[in-house]
Amino acid sequence: MAKKDIRALSVEQLTSLFKEINEPAFRAKQVYDWLWAKSAVDFDQMSNLSKNLRDYLNTNFAINNVQISELQVSSDRTIKCAMRLHDNYVVESVLIPHQTRFTACISSQVGCSLTCKFCATGKLKRMRNLNADEIYDQVVLVKNTAMERYNAPLTNIVYMGMGEPLLNYNEVLSSVEKITSPKGLGMAAKRITVSTAGVAKMIAKLAEDNVKFHLALSLHAATDEKRNHIMPINETNSLENLATSLNYFIDKTGTRPTFEYIAFKDYNDSIQDAQDLVNFCKKVKSKVNIIEYNPIDDGEFKQTTRDRLKAFTDHLEKNGIICNVRHSRGKDIDAACGQLANKNKLAMEQLK
């Protein structure tokens, strides 16, 4: 039988366990510190435990840590990491360097159950959700990579990798709790952004849980007709329902969401499309990130032109909408937004 992953235990459960084997209660906090604050991957690293206790843990438990199986460096210094899980599935995480910011883009699922037409990950089958510790490990490994490669600390985290975070709600929130805890990585919640394709009832649940991190909505079209075509999730999560949930989120948390909007040539980049976006933004207090489209294999869309993009953003700004144009990083290694598709050799073999 497979050993139980010790990181699935809370500090209270560890305390009970050690009492049962006649170990002092403080051992639980020591082990918890090794697992989370120090990111230990082996019980033998836990030098302040007796050898007998380490042997007991080795016999009865496992640390199912994530490992980097492949690493690619872009010409713009972006680094894509293929992360191998304990069961040999692979997800991808990205380190995005930008002046004084170093951002980890992390995954929440193996593959994705959504089928957004512009996203390479959407072409993959969803194999399973990630556990909180697997999400946490991605952050640790990207953080270590930033320090090793660029001698820089990790400053931001975005849940914008593979998968839909709000369809793995409990594990995502548990991972945020550990990342922000002083007993974990101690990062500020305001340095974290969770991005969703738009699961209205789970956005409302975020509001009820009064989360402290930022929320981004992958919008990409501001009419139901166009959004239904490129994002089938909209068929059950209409813009009207999303607006209601987002306003509830704003009222409860005091935080405005960000709308992510990829401009596709001759699809959603006209002045009328810009006006549709203005109308939606007036329903929900927000800011807008216009994202450069990154072509994918067999994709039906093309990147908009510079002139159409400028006319689009000018119309937004003229109507009082705060918007920024985000240029993609890591395109040459398929690490940019929408390009994560497990093209590394190990992942391709496992998905055959």
Residues with Cβ within 8 Å of residue 222, at least 6 apart in sequence: 239, 273, 276, 277, 279, 280
Burial of 304-321, coded b for 16+ CB within 10 Å and e otherwise, reads beeebbeebbebbeeeeb
Residues with Cβ within 8 Å of residue 286, at least 6 apart in sequence: 246, 256, 257, 258, 259
In 3D, which of 125, 338, 340, 112 has the Cα closest to residue 233? 112
DSSP conformation letters of 167-202 = GGHHHHHHHHHHHHSTTTT---GGGEEEEES--HHH
Please give the C-alpha separations between residue 134 and each of 36, 86, 171, 187, in angstroms, as whole numbers.
Answer: 12, 9, 9, 17
Query: Among 92, 164, 171, 260, which one carries the catalytic annotation?
Result: 92
SS3 139: helix
Query: Among 81, 119, 323, 337, which one carries the catalytic annotation?
Result: 337
Tokens 């239904």 sit on residue: 228
Hey, what amino acid is at 289? N
Tell me whether residue 112 is one of the annotated catalytic residues. Answer: no
What is the gyration radius of the CA atoms in the chain, in angstroms? 21
Mark out the alpha helices in the chain (DSSP H runs): 11-20, 26-35, 51-60, 132-150, 169-180, 200-208, 224-230, 239-253, 271-283, 306-318, 345-350
Tell me whether residue 105 is one of the annotated catalytic residues. Answer: no
DSSP conformation letters of 202-236 = HHHHHHHTT--SEEEEE---SSHHHHHHH-GGGGT
Please tell me the distance from the alpha carbon of residue 223 to that of residue 246, in angstroms, as a whole number. Answer: 16
Please tell me the distance from the alpha carbon of residue 11 to that of residue 18, in angstroms, as a whole number. Answer: 11
Please tell me the distance from the alpha carbon of residue 215 to that of residue 190, in angstroms, as a whole number. Answer: 10
Enzyme catalytic residues: 92, 337
